[in-house]
Chain A
Amino acid sequence: MKLTRQGFIAGLAFSGLALALGPALADGPRIGAPAPAFKAMDADGKTRSLSEFAGKTVILEWTNHDCPYVRKHYNSATMQTLQKDMAKEGVVWLSVISSPVGEQGYVEGPKAKDLSVQRNAAPAGILFDPRSGMARAYGAQTTPHMYIIDPKGTLAYMGAIDDKPSSSPSSLNGAKSYVRQAVAEMKAGKPVSEASTKSYGCVVKYAPVS
């Protein structure tokens, strides 16, 4: 509790700076425009960048394992199933953790890998973004928040994982997966019919601008 409050105060102190970045966030990524480039450390301590996946479809999943909305998708195994199905399609799945040190969802490499084993999750990589640079570049707001980048590096989808903005497990029944829909349409060479949706979930914990 103490740490959180400090974080809160620090957040207030830096809010002026953050405000300056507000427009940058609002201007965020655009469907049809090149997806923001990134470089981030993965769970093995290696630096990964968007450019190394050129020619492949990439999915970014903002996550926080303690967020009730993320839990809805992992406890029901829907997220893991989606990850595995996407891998079969040749899609690169990267989970992104933007929580800074001391905030809910912050983990380091071993713990992150451990979580994957426990949950039987199958991302191609887990990226750490403890300074929130990547979250700012993409305008990530919630966990989960999903982005799909096509093989040319163009942003093809951003928004919610499905159309049921609820943390209740029962909401998974009959939910429409925007991610599955978009990937299927891209594979068929069709335009993504719902390319931009309102994401839902817990707020992404941002590090103060330093």
Chain B
Amino acid sequence: MFEGCDGMMPRDFISRLRAGAALAVAVCALALLTPAGAKAAESAAVTSPRVTATLLSSRDTVAPGERFHVALVQKLAPHWHTYWLNPGDSGEPTRIEWELPAGAKAGEIQWPAPTAIRVEPLVNFGFEDMALLPVEITVPQDAKPGESFALKANASWLVCEKICIPEEGSFTLDLTVGDASVADQAAQDRIDAALAALPKPAPFRGRLGAEGDKLALLLAGLPAVATELRFFPVSDMLIEHAADQRLAAGEKPVLTLTRSSAFKLQQPEVTGVLTYREGGERRAVALVADADPALLTAASGAAAPGARPAVVRIPVPSDGADLTLWAALGFAFLGGLILNLMPCVLPVLFIKALGFAQVAHANRSEAREQGLLFLSGVLVTFMALAALVIGLGALGAQVGWGFQLQSPPLVIALAVVMVLIGLNLIGAFEIGGSVVGLGSGLAGRNGRLGAFMTGALAVVVATPCTAPFMGAAMGYAVTQVPAVALSVFMALALGFALPVVALSFAPALLRLLPKPGRWMLVLRQAFAFPMFATAIWLIWVASVQTGPQGVLAALVAVLAAGFVVWLIGVTRGSLPRRIFGSVLAALVVLGAGWFTVQNAVPGATTEARAGDVGVWSPERVAALQAEGKPVFVNFTAAWCITCLANERIALSRDEVKESFAKLGVVYLKADWTNRDSRIAQALSEQGRAGVPLYLFYPGRKEGQAEILPQILTPDIVIAAAARAAGREAKTAALAP
């Protein structure tokens, strides 16, 4: 038995142990008995050349039913350490077994935040200089004042420098039960200080997901100024303890961790201590993180030979995650600007611009006022949308940009709006200066509300279109604290409003426009057709989401809308007529609305839409890569016009198909037309909040995907296919 002392402890030391002590002394520890009559609040010490350990009590006298703390104190020689709950790469945590008076209870050790102790190239988690390990003791209700209350702790610990010595010791505290408790102030102060320094529950939950070979710990809610982060997991089979833990560049607080070679995760919650520096102060919080279910290993822990632990990884470096605030603001602004050119937005804006031209010739300051009202309409609507996205996100919903189009009734409502705008543009009805001045800037009736509403309308019709640059910025925004997210949306709104506002402010630009005349009427009518086309597209989207019932609902809604504007037109005049018209219109709107909501329910699976290409799943990507096949993944949605444009312009072109066939590329589609939490999750892992997203995975196991631009050409896709396949060839050539 004594051989365990590495010969560092001469045997004659052992013989110096005093027999008959109430102290069972550690095999390797030298006991120096404190004389009897020492203060009850601290036990006799168990000492070795490495550790002086005592049991400390905050009470001399305990009261029946009370809870109080004791603590095992280890005073360590320089360079020696004892271990935390998860000891790191080697070692063993301190353990205590209690012998307590009848009815008394002892809690678990309340572990202080550990430090990382480097033993290059490995690391241990533990304590140097001093470890004070508090334990809560509960005195039974029926303890009798005057009785003794003797606590005995049998503790064992491993103490290491470079070499490791297991030590153990027994500690007794002879406390007494009294009517009221009597504290030992010095001991109480030490224990209270230790309790105060324990990691407090973090005010936020983490999220642990896969990021390629690594693990990504999302720490939304972490103070922005936190530096020197380190996560100490309780499980010793989660991460490589010695690997660097990097906070992802940019402001999105994601800590990148290296997966343990013995990776095992069977609980959906990961617990640990997060330490960081904030304004010069070291802080430690107890963190609970929700693990991506895909990370969970099989319950048996079984892994077939040739397989790493059963985990799903989506091996892509994230671009959105690395954005800085300024870059995100810049992208958002640019994206907003480009949004103006989208086919559903352009008519509304052009009509507005023409309205400016008209008033500008007469009154320049009115044009400016209109421009600013338009701007405020855009800003208010964007802020409302942002608040909605942030609010839903805070409630835990998986939302992203364009998410509103995942609701069929909203898609149909937008189709109705498009039809109404089209009818208005073509002159089928005029809108009085009453409730809304939908885009009707032409007839000189553009009241202030009209200009404001045009801005709001422009935002609403823009939502189906995710312009290039916007994806990354939106992805960034939805993972940030609300103030940052709102700034990004604000930048987007400013970019979006810029052309129209600039036009209203720049007389030079306005002068370029011809004088108002018949051409304006013709152009206005012509612009009705893109609106009808947009309506057709939206109804098609609804049909994909819901099937034939949705088409019926959409067309009934369009019919009802047309009937109502006609009805209001013909019932103008006397009050009874108007009342009759309004009541009938309200009934028709209610009836059609009810019918739409009843029938436009997402139903049929969207798999059919994938057509001749495969349906995406992370497992499928991993499996195909393992087979050596390059994989192209198209994250798309029926309501995403950029996605559809890319499919028409690039992805369904023959030369692209041929190149895929020649290089053996497997084309998978992830369809986000209806809500799908796995797709939302995959998008967020790329730092994106919406579609489109195009990923090209090379045909080798765990190869990192390349992210393609949001606007595709056949050349871009073919070149990426060659890279994905070519990289494979190079790797094979280099392999021994």
Contact = CB atoms under 8 A, between A and B. Distances in A.
Interface of A: 4-5, 7-8, 11, 14-15, 18-19, 21-23, 25-26, 28-32, 66-69, 71, 75, 103-104, 136, 139, 141-142, 150, 154, 156, 158-159, 165-168, 191-206, 208
B627 interface: no
Q: Is the interface of A mostly helix, strand, loop or mixed?
A: loop
Nearest to A16: B120
Given A15-B118, A194-B301, A68 B164 contact: yes
A206 B158 CA distance: 20
Contact of A193 (B243, B244, B302): B302
Highest count of chain B CB atoms <10 Å: which of A75, A136, A142, A202: A202
A68 B165 contact: yes
Contact of A191 (B161, B240, B263, B304): B304
A166 B304 CA distance: 29
Given A158-B262, A159-B262, 18 more contacts: A19-B120, A19-B121, A31-B307, A66-B6, A71-B3, A71-B4, A104-B162, A192-B303, A193-B300, A195-B303, A196-B263, A198-B236, A198-B237, A200-B90, A202-B160, A203-B122, A203-B124, A206-B122
B4 to A, nearest CB: 5
Contacts of A158: 261-262
Contacts of A200: 90, 92
A150 B305 CA distance: 10
Contacts of B261: 26, 28-30, 139, 158, 196
7 contacts: A68-B4, A139-B261, A167-B92, A196-B261, A197-B237, A200-B92, A204-B90
A167 B121 contact: no
B303 A11 contact: no
Contact of B305 (A5, A195, A203, A205): A195
A103 B161 CA distance: 12
Contacts of B303: 31, 191-193, 195-196
Contact of A203 (B164, B304, B309): B164
B279 interface: no
B119 interface: yes
B79 interface: yes
B74 to A, nearest CB: 17
Contacts of B236: 198
Interface residues of B, number: 46
Interface in B69-104: 79, 89-92
B240 A193 contact: no
Highest count of chain B CB atoms <10 Å: which of A22, A198, A203: A203
B573 interface: no
Given A26-B243, A201-B90, A167 B158 contact: yes
A168 B121 contact: no
Given A15-B120, A158-B261, A32 B92 contact: no
Contacts of A195: 303, 305
Contacts of B118: 15
A66 B166 contact: no
A108 B122 CA distance: 25
Contacts of A25: 121, 240, 242
B90 A104 contact: no
Shortest beta-carbon contacts, A-B, top 6: A32-B306, A203-B90, A18-B120, A26-B240, A167-B166, A191-B304
Nearest to A4: B162
A156 to B, nearest CB: 6
A31 B89 contact: no
A199 B244 CA distance: 20
B577 interface: no
Contacts of B164: 67-69, 202-203
B515 interface: no
A48 B173 CA distance: 58
A30 B243 contact: no
A60 to B, nearest CB: 15
B156 A22 contact: no
Contacts of A75: 3
A22 B243 contact: yes
A106 to B, nearest CB: 12
B3 A142 contact: no
B258 interface: yes
Contact of A104 (B156, B163, B258, B264): B163
Highest count of chain A CB atoms <10 Å: which of B162, B236, B240, B263: B162
A199 to B, nearest CB: 8
B308 interface: yes
Interface in B209-265: 236-237, 240, 242-244, 258, 260-264
A7 B308 CA distance: 36
B6 A104 contact: yes
A161 to B, nearest CB: 14
A31 B308 contact: yes
A165 B119 CA distance: 20
A167 B6 contact: no
Interface string B333-360: 0000000000000000000000000000
B481 to A, nearest CB: 32
Nearest to B158: A167
A195 B306 CA distance: 10
A158 B303 CA distance: 13
A23 B3 contact: no
A168 B242 CA distance: 27
A165 B92 contact: yes
A158 B258 CA distance: 18
Contacts of B90: 141-142, 199-204
Contacts of A104: 6, 162-163
Given A11-B120, A202-B163, A142 B243 contact: no
A141 B122 contact: yes
B50 to A, nearest CB: 12
Contacts of A154: 305-306
Interface string B489-528: 0000000000000000000000000000000000000000
A191 B302 contact: yes
Contacts of B162: 4, 7-8, 103-104, 203, 205
Contact of B161 (A4, A66, A206): A4
B306 A23 contact: no
A23 B243 contact: yes
Interface string B164-181: 111000000000000000
Contacts of B263: 196
A194 B297 CA distance: 12
A22 B3 contact: no
A63 to B, nearest CB: 14
A10 B250 CA distance: 36
Highest count of chain A CB atoms <10 Å: which of B79, B89, B264: B89
A167 B164 CA distance: 10
A167 B4 contact: yes
Contact of A22 (B4, B237, B244, B264): B244
B257 to A, nearest CB: 10
B120 A206 contact: yes
A139 B306 CA distance: 19
A32 B89 contact: no
Contacts of A198: 236-237, 260, 262
Contacts of A67: 163-164
Interface string B617-660: 00000000000000000000000000000000000000000000
Contacts of A193: 300-303
B516 to A, nearest CB: 69
Contact of B121 (A22, A32, A199): A22
Given A4-B162, A71-B3, A198-B237, A206 B121 contact: yes
Contact of A31 (B120, B237, B240, B305): B305
Contacts of A7: 162
Contacts of B6: 66, 68, 104
A185 to B, nearest CB: 9
Contacts of B240: 25-26
B309 A196 contact: yes
A21 B120 CA distance: 10
A152 B160 CA distance: 38
